[in-house]
A and B are shown apart, each in its own frame.
Chain A
């Protein structure tokens, strides 16, 4: 059943459009793919290994910008976006670890594969998106309807 009360098509489309615009700007001017996991991993490597510092400054600037984003939202609306967690403590830590490991191994996440990869019709990205959507739906089904967490 579609939950029509919580369905927010307009903000989803506008927010999504801005995400696409951000990706287009990074690609048009810097020639780079907007992948949140890839940019984070490369910035981390650059910080830890001095030999891998090339491209560190635009990546750090990007990450700082992403954190400024919700603050800009607050200036526009008076409050930070609504955020209610579904996991605490151990489950949150494990989720973060798996997301890092998975996006690192799989060379991308919802932005890199989902927005950028699909937009240039990459077969790898299509395979990745189908796979993470499938395990995401399945995990939620198991957790919410079988285990009851």
Chain B
């Protein structure tokens, strides 16, 4: 093992590799930060370029892009309120409010260090536990996936804001949009109205950018308040040791959730961020509340989404099974180099395998200084007059969406969801449940259908698979507890209206206790 790590070091530390490590990190940061442009896209474009490089250099380059693009997504999430990638959606919930309170530097600092923590955590797991964990991942079947998707969906009850009814309404509208497209099991076209563009469903990234980007432009145009005003100032970004100590438990939980979800093939970064955010939301006892700029609301999803990076490599390297779209691209790059994945990689190309592990490690390490360095100038790059900002955001959004697959229809999707989101805003309906359901709806559906096929159309798998059963019970708890606690609270308010008025503090305290 130590010998292999030493060999990996020797292979990784050449001038060329370090150059590409830095270059890849920069590329990833910038691409991740631009709404619509994803790390996946960058890696897909770079795979053919790596063909002329040595295996180690190529993989190092791709690794650096992968890790830093996930982090980069949080920059626009915090500064503009538009997630640069879907995986930084949860970061907007607390990051943007925090930035608007004038603590943009702090928010970015938290996201940087949380990302690095999550990334390093998963890199270490990847290095030491790959072969053990891969076996566990294979045992995850459709029944278990379905349960995980339901767990992700269950958080809509707690992120829906003040009104449960409006939160659920938003969620159901999201589920409706998730069923558009061809039925995954029998090919029947649902709500496609004869359009080929809708056959594979609503393009997620386009919808998401519409909901965040277009709305912020419309809000800005509508009123001259400072609410969606200029990009917040980035002051000093170092968050201090005290904050680090405070966030450590959040980081650990986020990293563990991220790494585990990453290891399960096909579960994806998005579920991980929702789960991590919701977990922290439920156990949080500190002020301010989640959704109003709580540092933990940034730390949890950012540690989780970078935790996924290392985790998603586990099934790929150990079994040759890519866990998500990005690791599928890594598989392509490995194959182009004539390398096979699986145990053979470790026995025959230990230097390549271990230099890849180390690349994951160091990509996360240099991400912090490079990120902080870029952040200083980010503000300058984006410092345009307030009145022009809307137009610039719109241009970013539209070009970003168009670049997904050069499809004008995606741009229409983006505009449609922008208007839908604006209507939501007008009626004070939260958009977060809509997004969660849109992202996870089809995962829940196709895995349910697959599980039914595997079980000869019997629903018995819901209680015969222990993992699925446990996850489903947790989901039920996670879904109903916030609803019940809110109902109890409003009942109490009805009975003792004076008591509540008497002291806001008292109410806040009961609320925190109810959250348990």
Q: Real complex partners, A and B?
A: no
